């Protein structure tokens, strides 16, 4: 399992809203399409019967749902069963001309295309049949217009590279009226950079290479500006010939908001990086002040106490001087420890790998834990900010082990592999559920991942309850060869 930084609630809400809108669009497309959509389950009982099916065959939806197909004539029953069997076996059939019956007993000639009906797990649960009335090619447009003219999503029909129909919403996305767009060449309403893609996707569906596709393109508004459009288009038979029917929404504002959010997040990351840099600079300054000023003062005081102790013959003064000397020694040790915690001198003087070794020794001594260290590779040339961030991530990894892991052994591996600095910290502790910790907003782990991201490294945190945990950092770098 690998840690992933969770999306913000606003981002997740936006994604749910987008999925809901897409689902509503597809429902609208099927319900209001000019061709009949009929879905059957594995027992050939009707599960879907759209408005066009009501118009072509005469039965209303409530009369047929859950019942056997009503419009198959007795002579066509066997072939209907065979078509259903082929569909539920995974076959897709297109443009079969057959006879069916209306509720009034009239025969109607239709073009039938079938495909399997699948559930969310991709299991076949029935068949989808699409019927186009071949006897009355003009009839579909009248009720079709009435059903979709007020739709809140754009709807279009394309045939022969031309818009044959667009509803008011689709035309409004481009700043046109219906009459200005249909009939009209599709390419005239697409920006030059996306024109080839749109026309290519159209050809793939018309030719039957693919049945349906969802994609994004930039449309050309009447005012000359571009608009971001997301469309879902499907191949079907229109007036007896292949065409594409689809729905679309204007996502220009949504894209703009996404870009603003991305820019805002980038600014926040830059601010976070700046704050980390300032904090490290302040820690370094305080560490130097402690070491140079306070450390120097305590050292001078230690020398003066030593002089007094050496030149006094009074036993009580000598004893008091010795006590003061011990207190000063303790104070010097404390200053050194605080200074090292704030900014390890070994990191500045000897480099990252030596600093990792130094910190591992301190951890082993402090925790009394079996700490196995493996360092390999030449000295590495890493800028100060990156070296500091890697060292802080290493420190945080050891701190987490000390606080939470209940481990008895830690393995630390660091070195160069194929131009990459790898740092691995693994323990044999109790482990944890990475996803649960991520959902609980563990800021320590999130902070480690964010530190790594800011200087171009990747951080993987893997663990399972009862099986320990591992932190793996990868950082691409240049190798600094040791001079002879």
Mean pLDDT of 380-400: 82
186 within 8 A of 202, measured Cβ to Cβ:
yes
Per-residue model confidence (pLDDT) at position 143: 46
The structure tokens listed for 232 are: 């879902």
The structure tokens listed for 245 are: 């029917």
CA distances from 244 to 237, 253, 375, 443 (A): 8, 27, 62, 50
Task: Please name the fold of domain 35-133.
Answer: Beta-Lactamase (3.30.450)
In terms of C-beta density within 10 A (0-12 exposed, 13-18 middle, 19 or more buried), how is residue 443 classed? exposed
Does domain 142-250 correspond to CATH entry 3.30.450.20?
A: yes
Biggest alpha carbon distance in the chain? 131
Peptide bond into 48 cis (omega under 30): no
375 within 8 A of 464, measured Cβ to Cβ:
no
Distance, CA of 324 to CA of 225 (rounded, Å)? 81
Can you name the residues that pair with 41 across neighbouring β-strands?
126
pLDDT band at 142 (very low <50, low <70, confident <90, very high): very low
Q: Terminus-to-terminus CA distance in the chain, angstroms?
A: 45
346 within 8 A of 355, measured Cβ to Cβ:
yes
Per-residue model confidence (pLDDT) at position 162: 87
| Helices vs. strands in the chain: H and E counts, helices first | 16, 18
Mean pLDDT of 2-25: 64
Q: Say what the alpha-carbon torsion angle 184, 188, 190, 195 is, to the nearest 10 degrees.
A: 110
Domain 35-133 and domain 349-484, same fold? Reply is no
Whether the predicted pLDDT of 59 surpasses 80: yes
Mean pLDDT of 209-226: 89
3-state SS of 76-136 is: HHHHHHHHHHHHHCCCCEEEEEEEEECCCCCEEEEEEEEEEEECCCCCEEEEEEEEEECCC
Distance, CA of 340 to CA of 192 (rounded, Å)? 61
Per-residue model confidence (pLDDT) at position 378: 56
Mean pLDDT of 328-356: 76
99 Cβ contact list (under 8 Å, min separation 6): 73, 76, 107, 108, 109, 110
Is 0.75 topped by the overall pTM?
no
pLDDT band at 63 (very low <50, low <70, confident <90, very high): very high
Residue extents of the structural domains in the chain: 35-133, 142-250, 256-343, 349-484
163 within 8 A of 155, measured Cβ to Cβ:
no
CATH class in words for 349-484: alpha beta
Mean pLDDT of 75-85: 85
């Amino acid at each position: 399992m690998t840690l992933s930084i969770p999306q913000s609630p606003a981002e997740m809400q936006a994604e749910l809203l987008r999925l809901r809108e897409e689902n509503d669009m597809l429902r609208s497309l099927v319900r209001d399409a000019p061709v009949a959509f009929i879905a059957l389950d594995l027992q050939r009982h009707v599960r879907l019967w759209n408005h066009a099916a009501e118009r072509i065959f005469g039965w209303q939806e409530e009369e047929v749902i859950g019942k056997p197909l009503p419009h198959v004539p007795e002579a066509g029953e066997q072939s209907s069963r065979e078509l259903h069997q082929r569909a539920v076996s995974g076959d897709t059939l297109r443009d079969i001309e057959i006879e069916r019956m209306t509720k009034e007993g009239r025969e109607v000639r239709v073009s039938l295309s079938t495909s399997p009906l699948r559930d969310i797990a991709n299991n076949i649960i029935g068949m989808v049949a699409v019927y186009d009335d071949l006897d009355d090619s003009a009839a579909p447009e009248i009720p079709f217009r009435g059903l979709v003219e007020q739709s809140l999503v754009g709807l279009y029909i394309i045939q022969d590279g031309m818009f044959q129909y667009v509803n008011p919403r689709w035309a409004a996305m481009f700043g046109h009226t219906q009459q200005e767009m249909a009939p009209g060449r599709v390419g005239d309403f697409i920006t030059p950079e996306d024109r080839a893609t749109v026309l290519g996707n159209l050809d793939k569906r018309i030719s039957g290479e693919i049945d349906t596709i969802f994609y994004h393109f930039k449309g050309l508004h009447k005012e000359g500006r571009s608009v971001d459009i997301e469309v879902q288009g499907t191949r079907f038979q229109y007036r007896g010939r292949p065409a594409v029917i689809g729905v679309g929404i204007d996502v220009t504002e949504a894209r703009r908001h996404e870009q603003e959010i991305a820019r805002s997040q980038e600014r926040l990351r830059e601010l976070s990086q700046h704050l980390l840099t300032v904090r490290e600079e302040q820690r370094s300054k305080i560490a130097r002040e402690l070491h140079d000023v306070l450390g120097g003062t305590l050292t001078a005081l230690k020398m003066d106490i030593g002089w007094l102790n050496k030149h006094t013959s009074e036993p009580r003064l000598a004893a008091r001087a010795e006590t003061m000397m011990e207190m000063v020694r303790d104070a010097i040790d404390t200053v050194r420890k605080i200074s090292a915690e704030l900014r390890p001198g070994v990191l500045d003087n000897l480099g990252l790998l030596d600093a990792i070794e130094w910190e591992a020794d301190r951890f082993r001594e402090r925790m009394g834990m079996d700490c196995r260290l493996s360092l390999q590779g030449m000295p590495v040339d890493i800028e100060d900010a990156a070296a500091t961030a890697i060292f802080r991530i290493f420190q945080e990894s050891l701190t987490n082990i000390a606080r939470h892991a209940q481990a008895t052994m830690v393995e630390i591996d660091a070195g160069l592999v194929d131009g990459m600095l790898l740092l691995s910290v693994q323990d044999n502790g109790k482990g944890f559920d990475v996803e649960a910790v991520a959902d609980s907003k563990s800021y320590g782990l999130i902070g480690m991942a964010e530190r790594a991201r800011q200087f171009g490294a990747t951080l993987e945190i893997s663990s399972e309850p009862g099986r320990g945990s591992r932190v793996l950092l990868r950082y691409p770098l240049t190798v600094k060869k040791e001079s002879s």
